[in-house]
Amino acid sequence: MSKTRPEDVLRLIASRHSTRAFRDRPVPRPLLAAVLAAAANAPSSRNTQPWAVAVLRGEARDALAARLQDAFDRGVPPEPQFLNNPSSLSEPFAGRARATGAGLFDHLGIARDDGAARRAHLRRNLDFYGAPVALIFHLPGDAVPGSFLALGCFLQNVMLGLLAHGVGSCPQYSVAGYPALIKEHLGIDAERIVVCAMAVGYPDGDAPINRYVPERAPLDDYADWWW
């Protein structure tokens, strides 16, 4: 096996950005299995490995997407089981969130007041952005913040492992707005917590949405050196 070069690993990490348009090309099950197995080497408090994931493709993926979109179309209010952000974001986080949202819509040529186009974009989430594979990540019902940390490590491993194979992904909190429907549909115990979905597939390199890369704050904004 050739030696992994540190700069290649850092380049891979830095090149991970959300993929929201996919090619009509299947992702092989052995590839997904290898990535998920490697991802489970993520750290977790006392090695509890609290993560669980449902892996959907084909009819299973389509049937869940159809139910999610139907709920969206009927105006069923999203009821996620945990908050993804404080209900009122403070600065600088609010500004970053605003800039990223506005930046994406500007990039796509969607006007600020074009409610229909914005709603259509939101709805695409519930079709997993057309990805051939959808992952649903869930935790035990008694999960605590540390459990979510462990799942976050697992999630990032999955995304980087996929990327190493040229497969793109987008984590999706929006889908977790319909936990009862998802758990009933997939036979997941009612008390479990649906944390997020992930759209997975080979990126459509021509799609403008995949070329949007939100800015990152500079190192000095978040690293305080005692050196």
Ligand X SMILES: Cc1cc2nc3c(=O)[nH]c(=O)nc-3n(C[C@H](O)[C@H](O)[C@H](O)COP(=O)(O)O)c2cc1C
Q: Which helix (H) or strand (E) holds 221?
A: helix 219-222
Q: Taking the CB of residue 76, how many other CB atoms lie within 10 A of it?
A: 14
- N-to-C CA span, the chain: 37
For residue 129, give Cα distances in angstroms to 43, 94, 162, 221: 30, 25, 17, 33
Task: Please report how close the Cβ of residue 52 comes to ligand X at its closest, in angstroms.
Answer: 16
Among 100, 120, 164, 208, binds ligand X (CB under 6 A): 100
Number of residues near ligand X (by CB under 6 A): 13
Per CB under 6 A, the list member of 170, 193, 194, 200 interacting with ligand X is 170
On whether the CB atoms of residues 142 and 213 are closer than 8 A, the answer is no
**Of residues 176-215, those binding ligand X (CB under 6 A):** 196, 214
Residue 15 engages ligand X in binding (rule: CB under 6 A) = no
157 near ligand X, rule: CB under 6 A:
no
The span of 15-23, 35-43, 138-146, 178-186 binding ligand X (CB under 6 A) equals 15-23
Q: Does 147 bind ligand X (CB under 6 A)?
A: no
Name the nearest CA neighbour of 32 among 162, 127, 144: 162
Nearer to ligand X, 9 or 122 (CB): 122
Contacts (CB under 6 A) with ligand X, residues 60-89:
84
125 binds ligand X (CB under 6 A): yes
Query: How far apart (Å, rounded) are the C-alpha atoms in residues 4 and 23?
Result: 29
The span from the CA of 179 to the CA of 152, in Å, is: 19
Q: Please state the closest distance from residue 101 (CB atom) to ligand X, in A.
A: 8
Based on the shown chain and the rule CB under 6 A, indicate whether residue 172 belongs to the binding site for ligand X: yes
